Structure 1
Amino acid sequence: MARVTDTDQVSVLIVDDDPLLRTGLRMMLDGAEGIRVVGEAADGTEVENEVRRTAPDVVLMDIRMPGMDGLAATRRLRSRQSAPEVIVLTTFDADSHVLGALRAGAAGFVLKDTSPPEIVAAIHRVAHGDPVLSPSVTRRLMNRVAESDQDRRRRQAQDRLAVLNERERAVADAVGSGKSNAEIAADLYLGVPTVKTHVSNILTKLDLNNRVQVALLVHDARAGEPE
Structure 2
Amino acid sequence: MIDSHCHLDLLADKKEIQQVLLDAKSAGVQKIVVPGINEANWERIRKLSTDYDQIHYALGFHPQFLDGVTKSSLERLAQLVEEQVPEKCVAIGECGLDFYHDREGEAFQKQVLEAQITLANHCKLPVLLHCRKAHQDLAVLLKQTQPKYGGVVHGFSGSLQQAMDFVKLGLKIGVGGVITYERAKKTRATIAALPLESLLIETDAPDMPLSGYQAVLMSLK
Q: Scaled by the length of structure 1, what TM-score is found? A: 0.34
Which of the two has greater helix per residue?
1
Which of the two has greater strand per residue?
2
- The structure having more radius of gyration, on CA atoms, is 1
Q: Scaled by the length of structure 2, what TM-score is found? A: 0.35
